[in-house]
Amino acid sequence: MKSVNVIELKKMMDEGHDFKLIDVREQNEYDLVNLGAELIPVSEVGNNIDKFPKDKKVVVYCRSGARSGQVILALETQLGYDNLYNLEGGILAWAKEIDPSLPSY
């Protein structure tokens, strides 16, 4: 599974790279803290496959990287995706390394 760390993601955002950012946490987690990604909770991924483009880099994240990793593994093995990247450490790593003002939970 391919991945990016929070420093690489911050650079991609700052430089305006063409990629999609998807958050697979639950609505209450997203409401607490988010990176402006499209919210598609794990339980809704199957009904929103069309929101995972195959023609550009897609970075998927959750709280720690576990749920997003499961989503990526499923999409890669079942649907042949090869452009998905897991955010290492998830939003917890972002809060720790990029923006310590964000709440950790």
76 classed as catalytic: no
Residue 71 near residue 60, CB atoms below 8 Å: yes
Amino acid letter, 27: Q
From the candidates 35, 62, 92, 93, which is the catalytic residue?
Answer: 62
- Active-site positions? 62
